[in-house]
């Protein structure tokens, strides 16, 4: 049952069409995935259909058990609701790939992995999540995606507003909301919904926008999105933002056959599930008013940057990369992390005041008298595969590896092994002679099959 106050308010918003919306909210949700450019093709045991607004998006005619697919764990695709993939259109139309982007409310990482792929080698993404329990899954998904162009942080929106004044070319605020657009997927969203909650969400969204606003460069682009239908959390908040904070709405081009509806008063765009193939979604793109401003300046870090690793270790680790010149390396504790050299100064500075959960990718780790690769290197698109002996696994072996079970591989050389499934790296193992150590991260292992 849909909440009565919800059906009443939707009738006011949509008129007679509201009944079509209610019917669509009782139907099965569609299942869709977005492919990672780390693989060329992917086949599923069901029919697929293209998501029209994202070149890598596909609808699946049924929902496979993704946990049983090793390629899912290798970050070859992200299971993402189709409407959300429309963020790609906003990026293509208003954001240069060579941009510094903040995804403020990023967990679990659907839109962050999309932005990371869009920016590729040219840009830098800060994927932030304020809720502690959610930040680790965000970091895992980012590492599996494998671009190495993303810093995962755990900070409050106000910390960006205060300390990163005028830094970002683009900020995505995919705001926590009342979740009306998720009603057919998420029964809890239905149960928790109330008019009071809508009002509280709208207030919280305004406070998030106000807190982060100073971090956006004048002339920069804000993408505001929610997965809810009501006007308080959508059009009214955008209008408030334009009037109180100073921004102009940017129109987005789209094909009319996609069924996207312009928002009330031409403010933003709605995805209603009775008209568009996907869940409920709202998006609006805005440009911050241009004015004279003091550009964000990188200050010399107060704390000295950590001492570099032993030069021999650095040389050894650089052999694991296709383009070592693209990466700066830093040592924290006994771990070597690599991140885009192009943004080294900025990242070193951000490191001094943001709570960084992961930065770029884990490259190596000092172990005994040597250096061993870290798991996230195996996920990296810039990994030089020839640097390791590759061992192809079958489906059963791959799942066993992903459950961190003991391995029994035959005829493999001593030392570090790169385990692959259908040609895609899954992670490392080490053959120490009498056994092979499974090096898959324990915290990422498959727990239930
Ligand atoms: N962008 C994500 C994606 O595509 O996977 C989904 C984000 S979800 C709609 C909203 C996120 O905002 C949640 O991860 C939630 O923990 C976070 N959040 C909750 N309260 C917040 C607050 N006060 N400030 C910033 N983020 C908040």
Query: Which one of 227, 284, 356, 359 is the catalytic residue?
Result: 227
Neighbouring residues of 205: CB distance < 8 A, sequence distance ≥ 6: 173, 175, 176, 177, 226, 233, 237
pTM score: 0.97
Give the bridge partners for 79, in sequence order: 33
Ligand 1 atom nearest 226 alpha carbon: 9
Residue 40 lies in a domain: no
Residue 74 lies in a domain: no
Residue 154 lies in a domain: yes
Is residue 363 domain-shared with residue 430, that is, in the same domain? no
Ligand 1 atom nearest 227 alpha carbon: 9
Is residue 376 domain-shared with residue 284, that is, in the same domain? no
Residue ending a domain, choose from 288, 314, 332: 288
Ligand 1, atom 17: closest residue by C-alpha: 105
What pLDDT is stored for residue 293 in this prediction? 83
Is residue 275 domain-shared with residue 379, that is, in the same domain? no
Is residue 90 domain-shared with residue 126, that is, in the same domain? yes
Give the bridge partners for 301, in sequence order: none
What pLDDT is stored for residue 40 in this prediction? 85
Please, are residues 59 and 51 in contact by the beta-carbon 8 Å criterion? yes
Give the mutation target among 84, 101, 131 for probing the ligand 1 site: most ligand atoms within 8 A of CB: 131
Q: What DSSP string describes 318-343?
A: HTTBS-GGGEEEEEETTEEEEEEGGG
Is residue 309 domain-shared with residue 373, that is, in the same domain? yes
What pLDDT is stored for residue 302 in this prediction? 66
Is residue 229 domain-shared with residue 364, that is, in the same domain? no
What pLDDT is stored for residue 307 in this prediction? 60
Please, are residues 367 and 399 in contact by the beta-carbon 8 Å criterion? no
Is residue 203 domain-shared with residue 225, that is, in the same domain? yes
User: What is the 104 CA–ligand 1 centroid distance (Å)?
Assistant: 8
Query: How many Cα atoms within 13 Å fall on the side-chain side of residue 272?
Result: 19
Domain that holds residue 265: 86-288
* CA pair distance 77, 109, nearest whole angstrom: 12
* CA pair distance 21, 1, nearest whole angstrom: 13
Is residue 96 domain-shared with residue 190, that is, in the same domain? yes
Please, are residues 48 and 186 in contact by the beta-carbon 8 Å criterion? no
Is residue 403 domain-shared with residue 379, that is, in the same domain? no
What pLDDT is stored for residue 306 in this prediction? 61
Residue 144 lies in a domain: yes
What pLDDT is stored for residue 311 in this prediction? 76
Both structure tokens of 227:
């997965």
What pLDDT is stored for residue 308 in this prediction? 60
What pLDDT is stored for residue 26 in this prediction? 92
Is residue 197 domain-shared with residue 343, that is, in the same domain? no
Q: What 3-state class would DSSP assign to 95?
A: coil
Is residue 370 domain-shared with residue 433, that is, in the same domain? no
Q: Is 46 a catalytic residue?
A: no
Residue ending a domain, choose from 370, 387, 404: 387
Residue 18 lies in a domain: no
What pLDDT is stored for residue 305 in this prediction? 62
Residues with CB under 6 A from ligand 1: 84, 105-111, 129-131, 134, 157, 174, 176, 204, 208
Successive 10-residue mean pLDDT values, the chain, 449 residues? 95 96 94 94 88 97 95 98 98 98 98 98 98 98 98 98 96 98 90 96 98 97 98 98 97 98 98 97 97 83 64 90 96 89 95 95 90 97 98 97 95 96 97 95 91
Residue 48 lies in a domain: no
Give the mutation target among 139, 176, 227 for probing the ligand 1 site: most ligand atoms within 8 A of CB: 176
* CA pair distance 25, 179, nearest whole angstrom: 12
What pLDDT is stored for residue 292 in this prediction? 77
Number of domains in the chain: 3
User: What is the 32 CA–ligand 1 centroid distance (Å)?
Assistant: 21
The structure tokens 């505001």 sit at: 224
CATH number, domain at 261?
Answer: 3.40.50.150
CATH number, domain at 413?
Answer: 3.10.450.720
Give the mutation target among 130, 155, 208 for probing the ligand 1 site: most ligand atoms within 8 A of CB: 130
Residue ending a domain, choose from 248, 264, 288: 288
Residue 24 lies in a domain: no
Strands (E), 259-352: 261-262, 269-271, 281-288, 327-332, 335-340
Is residue 127 domain-shared with residue 243, that is, in the same domain? yes
Residue 33 lies in a domain: no
């Amino acid at each position: 049952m849909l909440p009565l106050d919800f059906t009443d308010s939707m009738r006011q918003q949509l008129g007679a069409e509201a009944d079509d919306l209610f019917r669509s909210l009782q139907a099965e949700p569609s299942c869709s995935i977005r492919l990672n450019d780390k693989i060329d093709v992917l086949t599923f045991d069901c029919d697929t259909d293209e998501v029209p607004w994202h070149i890598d998006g596909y609808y699946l005619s049924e929902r496979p058990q993704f946990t049983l697919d090793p390629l899912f764990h290798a970050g070859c695709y992200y299971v993402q609701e189709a409407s959300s993939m429309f963020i790609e259109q906003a990026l293509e139309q208003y954001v240069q790939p060579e941009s510094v982007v903040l995804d403020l409310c990023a967990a679990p990482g659907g839109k962050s992995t999309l932005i990371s792929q869009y920016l590729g080698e040219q840009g830098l993404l800060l994927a932030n999540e304020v809720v502690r329990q959610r930040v680790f899954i965000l970091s895992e998904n980012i590492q599996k995606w494998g671009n190495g162009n993303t810093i995962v942080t755990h900070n409050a929106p106000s910390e960006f507003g205060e300390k990163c004044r005028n830094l970002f070319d683009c900020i995505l605020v995919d705001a926590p909301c009342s979740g009306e657009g998720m009603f057919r997927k998420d029964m809890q969203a239905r149960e928790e919904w109330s008019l009071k909650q809508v009002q509280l969400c709208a207030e919280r969204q305004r406070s998030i926008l106000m807190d982060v606003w100073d971090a956006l460069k004048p002339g920069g682009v804000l993408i505001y999105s929610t997965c809810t239908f009501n006007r308080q959390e959508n059009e009214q908040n955008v209008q408030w933002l334009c009037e109180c904070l100073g921004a102009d709405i940017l129109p987005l081009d789209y094909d009319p056959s996609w069924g996207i509806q312009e928002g009330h008063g031409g403010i933003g765009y709605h995805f209603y599930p009775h008209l568009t193939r996907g869940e409920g979604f709202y998006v609006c793109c805005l440009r911050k008013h241009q004015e004279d401003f003091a550009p964000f300046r990188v200050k010399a870090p107060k704390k000295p940057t950590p001492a570099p690793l032993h030069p021999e270790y650095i040389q050894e680790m650089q052999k694991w990369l296709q383009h070592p010149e693209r990466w700066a390396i830093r040592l924290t504790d006994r771990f070597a992390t690599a991140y885009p050299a192009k943004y080294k100064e900025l990242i070193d500075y951000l490191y001094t005041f943001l709570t960084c959960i992961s930065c770029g990718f884990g490259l190596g780790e000092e172990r005994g008298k040597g250096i061993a690769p870290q798991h996230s290197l195996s996920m990296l698109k810039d990994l030089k595969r020839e640097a390791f002996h590759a061992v192809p696994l079958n489906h059963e072996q791959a799942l066993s590896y992903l459950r961190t079970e003991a391995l029994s591989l035959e005829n493999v050389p001593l030392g570090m092994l790169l385990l692959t499934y259908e040609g895609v790296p899954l992670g490392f193992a080490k053959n120490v002679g009498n056994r092979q150590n499974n090096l898959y991260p324990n915290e990422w292992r498959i727990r239930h099959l």
